[in-house]
Amino acid sequence: MEATIVSDNVKHYPVLLKEIISVITPQHGGTFIDCTFGQGGYTKKILSYKDTKVIGIDRDIDSQIIGKKIQENFPNRFLFKNLKFSDLINLKLKNENIKGIVFDLGYSYSQIKNLRKGLSFNSLGELNMMMGLNDFSAKEVVNKLEDKDLEKILRYFGDENDAKLIARNIAKQRLFKKLNTQDLVKIIEKSKRKKNYKNSLCNKNFSSLKNICKQRN
């Protein structure tokens, strides 16, 4: 399996790469859109076939660095746009015969392990979750919104039964300090009436914050 070097210790492996290539068949040329460019795994594989072009889009500003490198190697065959894939309809394509569009939904390992992004409840870091193109971060959501609004977010986006109690305890604890990822984990664990594994307790609530942070440009 082909990997993209993310750092000295981390490699990124595109999911189902062989299967994706067998479906979109870049061997016959054409223009493709990589809607979740990320580390560029799909894009680089598609560009390895002659007579192909790729338009890569990603909301994560860190992807621009990788996109720039690929653009230097394929100046006439690759174009990177810092966009959300929900803005795909606004992408102006002149005389492009789009043969295939690829989506790889979710977060990559490198994004989750990046403490600046604040995506993981298993690491100590600032609550961010912005991924670029946002007006606000999870830190602002957790530390500024009224508890009734927090409750709605946790209940609607995370299907959290204990949303009201969690929101109330967040409002209490943030009076003393700005909350980070581990502060939020402790609040969730303390607030849950039915105790379970840490992952089960926190996953829905962190997912709800990720979702609300992705809703706005």
| 8 A C-beta contact, residue 122 and residue 114 | no
Q: Which residue has the higher pLDDT, 105 or 187?
A: 187
Give yes or no: residues 136 and 199 share one domain.
yes
Q: Write out the residue range of the structural domain in which residue 87 sits.
A: 4-106
Across 124-140, average pLDDT: 70
Percent of the chain topping pLDDT 90: 41
Is 74 in the same domain as 126?
no
Look up the CATH number of the domain holding residue 96: 3.40.50.150
pLDDT score recorded for residue 140: 86
Mean pLDDT for the stretch of residues 139-151: 91
63 and 147 share one domain:
no
Same domain, 88 and 25: yes
For residue 217, the model assigns a pLDDT of 42
Q: Are residues 129 and 92 in the same domain?
A: no
Task: Please check whether residues 50 and 120 belong to one and the same domain.
Answer: no
Highest mean pLDDT among 83-97, 114-128, 203-217: 83-97
Whole-number Å distance between alpha carbons of 184 and 99: 45
CATH number, domain of 173, equals: 1.10.150.170
pTM of the predicted structure, to 2 decimals: 0.70
- Residues 6 or more apart whose Cβ sits within 8 Å of residue 25: 100
